[in-house]
């Protein structure tokens, strides 16, 4: 990480100076970058990542929150990564299901679901992802920003190829085509 910062300092010194370690420690930045890479988000635009985490570091030092804010700032890169000819093809959550998941949030980063509900949700998401793949699209689930990370963490082991994006991570220039809606039978 220090090498990345040194290289960036040579081209855009203002992006680095006054940020590390004044506003954010090197280990905190490393954790943000690790979180981004864990979900296959490119860290090539390190200047935007640094600018974003620096802007919000005065409000929070929570690296999970800073990572989510960096993802929003990288919406153009994320959209480009998943767009097929300018269109991101997705499955979405039924509004009732999304509301139920939002109510199940605990400590902001975890879903507090009973095992049967979690299993049903993963099964339904998996079936929708298979349907997306059958029509030739990447398995992407689009949801609200509040539940994006908890839902991605819930699904990462059983659905490792699933990409969970929030509406905030789709650039205004990118079209979204929703093909399938995921729901819990208990939610409607």
Could you tell me the pTM of the whole model?
0.87
Task: Give exposure, 49-67, as e/b (b: 16+ Cβ within 10 Å).
Answer: bbbbbbebbeeeeebebbb
DSSP 84: B
Q: What is the pLDDT of residues 23-69, one digit of tens each?
A: 888 899 999 999 999 999 999 999 999 999 999 988 988 999 999 99
Residues (pLDDT < 70) of the chain are 107-108, 186-188
């Amino acid at each position: 990480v220090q090498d990345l910062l040194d290289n960036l300092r040579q081209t855009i010194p203002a992006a680095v100076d006054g940020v590390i370690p004044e506003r954010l420690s090197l280990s905190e930045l490393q954790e943000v970058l690790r979180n981004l890479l864990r979900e296959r988000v490119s860290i090539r635009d390190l200047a935007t990542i640094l600018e974003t985490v620096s802007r919000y570091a005065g409000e929070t030092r929570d690296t999970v929150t800073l990572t989510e804010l960096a993802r929003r700032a990288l919406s153009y890169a994320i959209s480009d990564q998943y767009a097929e000819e300018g269109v991101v093809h997705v499955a979405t959550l039924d509004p009732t299901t999304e509301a139920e998941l939002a109510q199940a949030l605990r400590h902001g980063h975890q879903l507090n679901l009973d095992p049967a509900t979690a299993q049903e949700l993963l099964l339904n998401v998996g079936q929708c992802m298979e349907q997306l793949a059958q029509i030739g699209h990447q398995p992407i689930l689009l949801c609200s920003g509040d539940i994006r990370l908890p839902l991605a963490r819930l699904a990462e082991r059983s659905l490792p190829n699933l990409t969970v994006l929030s509406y905030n991570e789709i650039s205004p220039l990118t079209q979204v085509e929703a093909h399938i809606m995921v729901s819990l039978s208990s939610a409607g």
